[in-house]
Chains A and B, each alone.
Chain A
Amino acid sequence: MNPRNILLFAFVAALIVIEGMTASWNTALGILNMGLISAILALGVNMQWGYAGLFNVGVVGFVALGGLAPVLVATPPVTEVWTGGGAYRLILGLLFGVAVIALAIALNKRLAGRNRAVALLVVLIGGFFLFRAVFDPAVEVVEAFKPATYSNIGGLGLPVLLAWPVGGILAAGAAWVIGKTALGLRSDYLAIATLGIGEIIIAVMKNEDWLARGVKNVISIPRPVPYEVDLQADPGFVEWAAGFGVDPVTASTIVVKLLYAGLFTVVLLALIWASQMALNSPWGRMMRAIRDNETAAEAMGKDVTRRHLQVFILGSAVCGLAGAMIVTLDSQLTPGTYNPLRFTFLVWVMVIVGGSGNNWGAVLGGFLIWYLWIKVEPWGNQLMDLITSGMAEGALKSHLKDSAAHMRLLTMGLVLLLVLRFSPRGLIPER
């Protein structure tokens, strides 16, 4: 860390502090918390792009998949559908589906020529219909149970912090499937394949009610920190808050946010430490060598595709972890909100603006771009008010005012292009 970088971080910290002083500490801490998570996301994408030059356009899918983990791990199980047997049958159906695919892969390796094509078709088509025969009735049973509150299989009722690594594992699994297919081909193909998996993961999460209630959302996911109402009811806390001269309601929301911030900071610091160690180890040097010249690295006996797969899985796992953290912070899962522009492209802007290949750069980009993302909309509104202040009331004025909401996309695209053009190494360049 040289003085310039410290100054950059201080600048971002100052932005958040100013937000706290001028607006409210609640919004400032809100920005800080999502900034911490964004920094983790950016670290994950930086592993893929910065270390290895892999272009992942499906970040949103990995984030969403990670978000599934708190629901599956921390919410209490819906015991009725388990004792009724519907859920067991459903799991059996899923296992059967996996078995069919595994069999197809095995056959694909063993057989050759026309035999292979016939066997694959028989296994896949027959397997698909058998899978539907087992799976569909089970889904109906599960989804029929109290659709207004449940209609899903519930979770395991374990502590929610356990869901964070599980989110990472889920995302890593999806990354493995994609990486196996698309890595080793030309770089654009990985981009398009990840774009696809992103859309599909979100489609699954929106439509499979048995999994996490689909667009009906899962609310009140258990939290790792105390609830505001409990704090406000605690006389000790009220007294403690009064000592600062703050009313208990504000104090409780701020304390909860600070607790979250503490948890996230621990994760972020651990990840930065691990990524710095990895980047400066022989492994990190090998990754960069592969990125800079694949042919030379291959000639030195490095298995390029395997290393790419490894780093792709690692990066996606970090994205999944961040996804689980977002859901924990909101304590709800709303699949409808997973927008690729917000969760994929914004993260890319963070990495590129911050400085691809540099972990500190990615972290800085995460904080800075998240701050801008939050602030550009009110700024856009103010700008539009200013532009339209001289105009007569009418269709044009109201159209311009409504359009201010889209300023975000424009600004982010512009920032990305400008940085790529004039400072392609980002704010904190790779050493």
Chain B
Amino acid sequence: MDLLNAIVALLNFVVIPATSYGAQLALGALGVTLIYGILRFSNFAHGDTMAFGTAMVILVTWAMQAMGIHLGPLPTALLALPFGIALTAALVLGTDRAVYRFYRRQKAAPVILVIVSMGVMFIMNGVTRFIIGVDEIRFDDGARFLINAGDFKAATGLAEGLAFRSTQALTIVTAVIVVAALFWFLNKTRTGKSMRAYSDNEDLALLSGINPERVVAVTWIIAAGLATIAGTLYGLDKSFKAFNYFQLLLPIFASAIVGGLGSPLGAIAGGFLIAFSEVGFTYAWKKVATYVLPESLAPDGLAQLLSTDYKFAVSFAILIVVLLFKPTGLFKGKSV
């Protein structure tokens, strides 16, 4: 019984939150890694692209709610997602045309593009705040729980409740669908193949008649889609606050680098690795330990390795370890 309780507590406080957080990070890191693979720079504006996309989704959600459109048990934001993606893609393509294309033609050094992306980040941050403000916004509606803690306790007779929020389930399901679609696109379609060819060897791809502008445009659209989906899922799961998305930049970059910049599979693995380490290090293990260990060994304190305020330190520490020992990442990214 105690062991079961321990497993339920572990699922409830570690596995489920970390899985959904990992899925959000993975989607974000996929965007970063794709842009890195094709455009060859680390896009610092990605966090704010996520924030902008989410802001768009929130606005469309509000409009739909005002018109009385609902999705039943699912959050309305899901219905608003395509509109949000379209708006974000338009913004990102406009940015590429107005800003990045010039430097691409010049064949500017990657670090210049990074600085440019910092400027874009500033502007996007300002635009997002301008449109939706700096306050915390909750926009989830529909059913709150897939499994309710109280019901679970009553049904199983365990002391520990298991809560599975619908937003968490939604995050995981959406992430699986999106990732499957992305890999199908990259591996099976002509455009996807040309993208991979361009990423592997730019000159060879140009020689074989691949249109670079088209590849770049498709990359931006996919990145905008991934960013909007990741941002919306994160916002549904926790809440929307523009500054939090800027702070997500560090774990997202850490995920992409841990997996190997430029490697989509690596981004997903990195996302989950970072998420599980973050939750694992900052979770107070007292409850689980009390169930599993004999009474004499039970911990006095919270058995928390790090305070939750230091969750960024976890992704940073992992990042440093990877940079020290395996700078190309776990899945052999593009370059050192």
Binding site for B on A (CB under 8 A): 53, 55, 57, 128, 136, 181-182, 185-189, 191-193, 195-197, 199-200, 203-204, 206-207, 340-341, 345, 348, 352, 399, 402-403, 406-414, 416-417, 420-421
Instruction: Judge whether A421 and B102 touch: CB under 8 Å.
Output: yes
CA distance A181 to B257 in the complex (A): 14
Interface pairs (11), CB distance under 8 Å: A55-B111, A128-B305, A187-B109, A196-B319, A199-B247, A199-B316, A345-B118, A407-B126, A409-B126, A413-B124, A421-B99
Query: With an 8 A cutoff between CB atoms, is B42 at the interface?
Result: yes
**B327: A residues at CB distance < 8 A:** 185, 189
Instruction: Judge whether B123 and A207 touch: CB under 8 Å.
Output: no
**A128: B residues at CB distance < 8 A:** 305
CB distance from B319 to the nearest CB of A (A): 6
Chain A residue with minimal CB distance to B125? Answer: A409
CA distance A388 to B133 in the complex (A): 18
**B112: A residues at CB distance < 8 A:** 420
CB distance from A42 to the nearest CB of B (A): 15
Q: Which of A136, A187, A192, A412 contacts B110 (CB 8 A)?
A: A187
Instruction: Judge whether A406 and B323 touch: CB under 8 Å.
Output: no
CB distance from B99 to the nearest CB of A (A): 6
Q: How large is the interface on B (under 10, 10 to 19, 20 to 34, 35 or more residues)?
A: 35 or more
Instruction: Judge whether B129 and A185 touch: CB under 8 Å.
Output: no
CA distance A199 to B242 in the complex (A): 16
CB distance from B170 to the nearest CB of A (A): 29
CA distance A373 to B253 in the complex (A): 29
Chain B residue with minimal CB distance to A412? Answer: B122
Q: Which of A186, A204, A413 contacts B119 (CB 8 A)?
A: A413
Known: A192-B250, A192-B257. 20 other contacts (CB 8 A): A181-B320, A187-B111, A188-B110, A191-B111, A192-B254, A195-B250, A196-B315, A199-B247, A200-B312, A200-B313, A203-B309, A345-B121, A348-B118, A403-B130, A406-B134, A407-B126, A409-B126, A410-B122, A416-B115, A417-B116
Query: With an 8 A cutoff between CB atoms, is B27 at the interface?
Result: no
Fill in one digit per residue for B124-143: 1 if any A CB lies within 8 Å of its CB, else 0: 11110110011000000000
**A406: B residues at CB distance < 8 A:** 126, 129-130, 134
Instruction: Judge whether A181 and B129 touch: CB under 8 Å.
Output: no
Which chain B residues numbered 22 to 60 have a C-beta less than 8 Å away from chain A?
A: 41-42, 44
CB distance from A84 to the nearest CB of B (A): 22
A182-B323 contact given A53-B111, A406-B126, CB 8 Å threshold? yes
CB distance from B213 to the nearest CB of A (A): 19
**B129: A residues at CB distance < 8 A:** 403, 406, 409
Query: With an 8 A cutoff between CB atoms, is B310 at the interface?
Result: yes
**B296: A residues at CB distance < 8 A:** none
Fill in one digit per residue for B84-98: 1 if any A CB lies within 8 Å of its CB, else 0: 000000000000000
